[in-house]
Chain A
Amino acid sequence: MTTATLSHTHRRHRWRLTFQRYLGLTLNIFPPFIYILLLFYVPMGMMFLISFWKSGYMTLEPIFTLDNYITFFTSPIYLKTLYNTFIIATGAMILLVIIGYPIAYYLARMGPKYTYLILFLLIIPVEINFLIRIFAWKIALGGNGVINSFLMQLGVIQEPLKFLLYSKTAVMIVLIHEWLPYVVIPIFLSLRGIPQSVIEAARDLGSSRYDIFRHILLPLSVPGLFASMVLVYIPMLGEFAVPALVGGPSGYMLGNVIESQFLSAGNWGLGSAIGFILLAITLVLVALVIKIAGVEELL
Chain B
Amino acid sequence: MPESTPGLEVRNLTKRFGNIVAVNDVSFEIASGEFFSLLGPSGSGKTTMLRMIGGLETPDAGDIFLEGKKITFLPPEKRDVNIVFQNYALFPHLNVYDNVAFGPRRRKWPEDKIRREVTALLEMVHLSGYEEKYPRQLSGGEKQRVALIRALILKPKLLLLDEPLGALDLKIRQALQLELANIQYEVGITFIYVTHDQSEALTMADRIAVMNKGRILQVGTPKEIYEHPVNRFVANFIGNTNLFEGVVKEIAGQDVKVDVPGLMELWGIASENHVAQLRIGQRIAVSVRPEKMRLSRVKPQKPGYNLVQGVVDDLIYLGVSTEFLVRLPNDQVVRVFAQNISREDELWSITWDEPVWVYWRPERSLVLADEAPT
Contacts and interface: CB of A to CB of B under 8 A. Distances in A.
Interface in B65-95: 75-77, 81-83, 85-87, 89-93
Contact of A195 (B54, B75, B87): B87
B106 interface: yes
A219 B93 contact: yes
A202 B106 CA distance: 9
A203 B76 CA distance: 6
Interface string A199-234: 011111111100100011001100000000000000
A128 to B, nearest CB: 38
Nearest to B160: A204
Given A205-B103, A206-B106, A200 B89 contact: yes
A281 interface: no
B102 interface: yes
A129 interface: no
B278 interface: no
Given A198-B91, A220-B93, A204 B102 contact: no
Interface string A170-208: 000000000000000000000000010110111111111
Contacts of B85: 197, 200-201
A197 B107 contact: no
Nearest to A197: B89
A197 B77 contact: no
B76 A215 contact: no
A83 B151 CA distance: 52
B120 interface: no
B89 A215 contact: no
Nearest to B87: A197
Contacts of A211: 106
B260 to A, nearest CB: 49
A211 B56 CA distance: 17
A198 B90 CA distance: 7
Contact of A204 (B82, B86, B107): B82
Contacts of B89: 195, 197-198, 200-201
Nearest to A215: B102
Interface in B121-176: 150-151, 154
A198 B89 CA distance: 5
Contacts of A206: 77, 103, 106-107, 154
A203 B75 contact: yes
Contact of B77 (A198, A204, A219): A204
Interface string B95-106: 000000011001
Nearest to B82: A204
B56 A204 contact: yes
A208 B105 CA distance: 12
Contact of A203 (B77, B86, B90): B77
Contacts of B55: 204
A198 to B, nearest CB: 5
A216 to B, nearest CB: 7
B368 to A, nearest CB: 38
Contacts of B82: 204-205
Contacts of A201: 83, 85, 89-91, 150
A204 B107 CA distance: 12
B150 A205 contact: yes
Interface centre among B77, B82, B151 (most CB of A within 10 A): B77
Contacts of B83: 200-201, 204
Nearest to B153: A205
A137 to B, nearest CB: 39
A16 to B, nearest CB: 39
Nearest to A198: B89
Contacts of A216: 91
A84 to B, nearest CB: 37
A205 B54 contact: no
A220 B92 CA distance: 8
12 contacts: A195-B89, A197-B86, A198-B89, A200-B85, A203-B75, A203-B77, A205-B82, A205-B106, A205-B154, A208-B106, A216-B91, A220-B93
Interface of A: 195, 197-198, 200-208, 211, 215-216, 219-220
Instruction: Report the 9 A-B pairs with minimum CB-CB distance, sorted nearest first.
Output: A205-B103, A197-B89, A206-B106, A201-B89, A206-B77, A219-B93, A203-B76, A204-B76, A204-B83
Given A205-B77, A207-B106, A220-B93, 12 more contacts: A197-B86, A197-B89, A204-B54, A204-B77, A204-B81, A205-B82, A205-B102, A205-B151, A206-B106, A208-B77, A208-B106, A215-B102
